[in-house]
Amino acid sequence: MRRNVTIIDDPKNLDIQDVMREEKSRGKRRVDVEALRRRADLLKKFREALTLRTEREFVDAIREMKLADDPEKLRELLKIWRASF
């Protein structure tokens, strides 16, 4: 007997993946799916910022992500950006 594939079986469905991740973590430390999603979004935006061609564009993108509040942190981020070329 063949089984019909439904939307529940679709591994690309984010909600299903979140539930599966939570279920796998039962008995372990709780997985904060929303925090993981925010981190993934921040990393995606940072990778996009690294592709910007000018330092001014990069700094503006970093400030938009609220990562440039500390001057020392901004220096570190600029060091990473400069090394990416």
Which of the pair, 33 or 21, is modelled with greater confidence?
A: 33
Which domain, by its residues, includes 71? 9-83
- Structural domain includes residue 74: yes
- Structural domain includes residue 58: yes
- Structural domain includes residue 3: no
- Structural domain includes residue 59: yes
What percent of the chain is predicted at pLDDT more than 90? 46
The pTM of the full predicted model, rounded to 2 decimals, is: 0.59
* pLDDT score, position 54: 93
- Structural domain includes residue 1: no
- Structural domain includes residue 70: yes
Angle (CA) 55 65 51, round 5°:
40
Which of the pair, 19 or 8, is modelled with greater confidence?
A: 19
Q: How many domains does the chain have?
A: 1
